[in-house]
Structure formats: C-alpha cells, structure tokens
C-alpha cells in the first residue's frame, strides 16, 4: 500500500518504521525535524496524504486533529482511508469523521494501548471506531503495528473505549498506591501484601503487571526511578478527556473526577511532571492523613 503518516513522534516514528519494514511505501510528515528509517519525508501533511491508500495520524490533541483534517482531507482521494491513532476527545473524532464522510473519505478512530515499547515491538492494541468497510481496509496495517484490533462501533467508539479504559487505569493505580502506603504505616511487608492481593479479590493490572512498588512483582517503571512507561501528564490528559466526555454525555463519574484532580495536583503542583503515573506511590508515602 501507499501510506501517508502524519505525526512521527515517540509513538508514530516506530509505527511508521514497522510499516516500511513490512514493505509498504510510506511518506511521512512531522512539524519537528525527524529521521525515520525507510520513510520518505515530505514538506507538509497534505503532501504525505496525497494519493495515499491509507493515511495514519498520531497527534497530540483534538484541536490539532481538526486542523490537520482541514489540510489532508482535500488532498485525499475518494475511497481512501484515514486512520487516526491519536487519543482525543470523542467530539473531535466524530467531527472529523463527518468532514471526511462528506468528501468521500473513510475514517477509523483507532487510539492505541501499549506505549512506546508496544509501538516499537509492533504489539499495540487498537480500539477502533468507524464503518466495517473502513476497519477491514485498515486491518492489514493493524496486524503489522499491533497484536490486537477491536472494532468497537461507529465513529468515536474507539476514543470512547480508550477513555473508559484509562479512567479505570487511573483510578486503580491511585487505589493501589494508597494501599501500599497504608500497608507501610500498618507495618505490613510489601512483598507479603503483593503475595496476598495479587491472588485475591484486589487483583488488578496495576498490582500484578505494573506494580508501583520497587522490587515487587514483574519489572516496572518503579524499578527504574519511575522513569515513564506512561507519563503522569499523559494520564492526566486521558483523565481530563474522560471528564469532558462525562460532562457532554451527562455521566456521573465521581471516582474519575477525583482521580483527575489528584493527578492534576501531582503533575502541576507537586513533582509528578516527567515521572511515570505509578509515581503516585512515593507521593502517598510522604503524606499523612491531613
């Protein structure tokens, strides 16, 4: 296939490399100066999208997504597919899908889970929204860039799935960190707590696969000074998206709201910026009841 790839940052770069290594012709564009093995760099997003069978975008937010839509949709051929792998608000995903539909362009909103490691290894999970036709046309590329792609429904459904998943993740990580901090104050050995919780009703991904306590469970960012696997500021972004979606759909999400407030405080007023989202544990270790 001829592929246009716009947004060649920490995630987009290895994703584009994997597509090129699989034998596809990839033209790429990024606002910053980048070097991407096997990818022909262009001077604009429109140039990357021109005559492409599939255009893939990996962008920071919904505002930029809307701007890029205005640039690339007129350059795309009717019947081409635009796959947006950014994590943005549901309203933006649906708005650009409507713009594309009016121009005869098929769209898939397909945010990812798996982080930079998954992007490099080609083991991402894609949560996809859009028509069945668009999803099937994009599926061969999902198979190259990832290990799983789930068609979640119509336009915006992929973003909805990502936002709901990461709201659970943020809330659960806070609860896991609180529990370790409480265990410390109760004199309970962290390894013993892990041994109990990881095989009991407190079982969770944040405990069993991504434990925030150094030296406990499988290796995680906690074992590397909390250098990010998933940065706290990115968790804050996703939690804010969850609350934006909750407000627009009149959903009551008190735990999601509280998690958003805690990560906002951690990132913007404490020392959380640039650390992994599991660095909430040393935060709670240092705090008392008040």
pLDDT in tens, 48-86: 999 999 999 999 999 999 999 999 999 999 999 999 999
Last residue of a domain, one of 95, 130, 153: 153
How far apart are the C-alpha atoms of 249 and 174, rounded to whole Å?
A: 25
Q: Are residues 57 and 103 in the same domain?
A: yes
Q: Three-class SS of residue 70?
A: helix
Q: Are residues 125 and 239 in the same domain?
A: no
Predicted confidence at residue 192, as pLDDT, reads 98
Catalytic residues: 162
How far apart are the C-alpha atoms of 150 and 2, rounded to whole Å?
A: 24
**Is the confidence at residue 128, as pLDDT, over 90?**
yes
CATH number assigned to the domain comprising residue 129: 3.40.50.720
Which two tokens mark 59? 């962008």
Listed as own residue / partner, the contacts of 42-48 with beta carbons closer than 8 Å and 24 or more positions apart are 44/71, 45/4, 45/6, 45/71, 45/72, 45/75, 46/71, 46/72, 46/74, 46/75, 47/75, 48/4, 48/5, 48/6, 48/72
Give the range of the structural domain holding residue 82, as residue numbers without chain letter.
2-153
Last residue of a domain, one of 97, 129, 153: 153
Predicted confidence at residue 117, as pLDDT, reads 87
């Amino acid at each position: 296939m001829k592929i246009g790839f716009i947004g060649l940052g920490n995630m987009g770069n290895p994703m584009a490399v994997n597509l090129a290594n699989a034998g596809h012709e990839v033209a790429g564009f990024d606002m910053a100066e980048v070097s991407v093995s096997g990818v022909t760099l262009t001077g604009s997003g429109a140039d990357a999208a021109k005559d492409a069978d599939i255009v893939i975008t990996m962008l920071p937010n919904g505002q930029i997504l809307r701007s890029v839509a205005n640039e690339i949709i007129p350059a795309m051929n009717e019947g081409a597919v635009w796959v947006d792998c950014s994590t943005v608000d549901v309203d933006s995903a649906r708005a650009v899908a409507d713009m594309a539909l009016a121009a005869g362009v098929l769209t898939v909103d397909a945010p990812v889970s798996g982080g930079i490691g998954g992007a490099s290894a080609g083991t991402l999970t894609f949560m996809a929204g859009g028509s069945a036709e668009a999803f099937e046309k994009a599926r061969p590329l999902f198979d190259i860039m990832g290990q799983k792609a789930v068609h979640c429904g119509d336009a915006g459904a992929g973003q909805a799935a990502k936002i709901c998943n990461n709201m659970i993740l943020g809330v659960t990580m806070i609860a896991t960190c609180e529990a370790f901090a409480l265990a410390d104050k109760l004199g309970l050995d962290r390894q013993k707590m892990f041994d109990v919780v990881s095989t009991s009703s407190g079982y969770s991904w944040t405990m069993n696969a991504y434990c925030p306590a150094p030296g406990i469970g499988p290796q995680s960012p906690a074992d590397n000074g909390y250098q990010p696997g998933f940065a706290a500021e990115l968790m804050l972004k996703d939690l804010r998206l969850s609350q934006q979606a909750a407000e627009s759909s009149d959903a009551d999400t008190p735990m999601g709201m509280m998690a958003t407030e805690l990560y906002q405080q951690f990132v913007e007023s404490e020392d959380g910026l640039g650390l992994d989202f599991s660095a909430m544990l040393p935060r709670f270790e240092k705090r008392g009841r008040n």
